Structure 1
Amino acid sequence: MTAPQAPVGGRYARLYRLLDWPPRLAGLNLLWLAGVLAGGVVAGLSPATVALFALLRDYQRGGHPQAWRDFWRHWRAEFGRSQVRLGLPLLTVWVFVFYLLAVRGTPLAGAVAVLALVYLAVLAYLPPVLAHFDVPATTAWRIAALTAARAPLWTLGLGATLSLLVLAMLVAVPVAIPFFLPSAPAALVALVAARGFDSLPAAPPAPRGDEPG
C-alpha cells in the first residue's frame, strides 16, 4: 500500500506548478495543429486559436480543463463566428505586408510601418478577448484596443519578448517549433492580456460563463 504523499507548499509548490507548463504547452500546441488541419488550415486557424486561448485562460485561472474534450468543444463553438471575428483580421495582415512592400524605400514607409505595428499590437490581444468575453466583434476590438492603450509599456515589452522568443526558436532550437509555437507565445499574450483586462477604465462585459473542467 502506497503511503499518502504530503502536499507540497511554499516555493516548491510554485516550482511544481511552473514545471507543469512545458508539457502542457506541448500538448496544447499539438491540439492547435490538429485544429488547424481539421479546418483545412485556412478555416481551421481561427477556431483553433480561440480554443487555444480558452484553455490557456482556464489554466491561468487555476482550472483543470480536460484538454482534448474542451479544446474541441471550443473549436466547434467558435468555428463559424471566429471566421469573421478573427479570420478576417488575420487576413488583413497581408494588406499591410502588401503596402509595406509597395512603399518600400519611400517617405511613406515609416508611417505604414508604424500603423502596421499598432494594428498588430491590437490584433495580438484579440484572441484572448474572444476567449474571455462573449461579445460582438466591434466590442472585442474596442476591448483589445483599450487593453493595448492602457498598458503601452507592457505591450511594447510583450512585442519585444515575443519577437525574441520566436527568433530563438527559429534560429537556436527549431526542434521546439512543433511543440511550442504558437502555444508558448500565446501563453505570454494571455498572461499580459489578463492583467490588462483588470486595468480597464470601465467595467468590461461579463466573462464567459463556461467554467474550467
Structure 2
Amino acid sequence: MPIQDSNAGEVMPPIKALLLDDSAFDRNRIRRMTEKSDIPMMIEEVPTIAALSQVMDRDVFDLIMIDYQLAEGDGLEALDLIQNHATNRGAATIMISGQEHMEVAVSAFRNGCHDFITKDELTLPMLRDAMQSALQNASIAMLRGPQIAQEIQKQVQQAMRSTLESGVMQSALTEGLRQAADRIGLEVAGKGTEEMDAFLTEFVADDRFYF
C-alpha cells in the first residue's frame, strides 16, 4: 500500500532504509517483515560498521535499523557514527538487540535513538509500529531543529545586549575599539568618550550579531 500525503493526496516515494546486522538469518527475517509491513520501503543491508560507513557516504537514508550485538563494535558505536554523519544524522534510528538490556536501551535513547526493540519480542506489528514511530519522531526533531537554533541565538543576543548595556563592559569595548582602530589606521582615536559610547549604544540597538 503506497504512502499518501493526507493533505495533497500525493503518493510519497518509498522509504530508504538501511539495516546493520552481522547475522544473515536476522537480516533476512527483518527484510521479510518489512516487505509485509504495508510501508513502501527500499532496504539495503550491511554486516559491519565499516560497511555502514561506506554506504552512508554514498547515499542518504530515511531509516537505519541497528543490531546492538556485532562481531566488531556494537550498536552504540554505530549510532554514534550515524549521529555524527554529515548527510545521515537526521535518519530515524531503531536499535535491535538480541537480549533485553535496560542499560543499553537507556544509552541508546540518551544518544538520540528513536526506538529500541528486542529480537525475541520482534513481530511484524511491533516492527511496523517502531518504524512508523521512529520516522515520525525523526521528522519532528528535524522540524524543531531550526526553531531550537533560533531560540538559542535569541537568548545569546539578549545576553549580549544586557552585557553591552552595562557600563563596565561598554568601557572595555570602547577602549578595545580605540586600540583596534589605531592598529588599522582609522581616525577614531580623537573621538570623545561620549561619541564612542553613542556608537556602541547604536550598535546594541541595531540588534545585529553574527556568529
TM-score category (smaller protein): under 0.3
What TM-score comes out, normalization by structure 2 length? 0.24
Greater share of strand: 2
What TM-score comes out, normalization by structure 1 length? 0.24
Q: Specify the structure having the higher radius of gyration (Cα).
A: 2
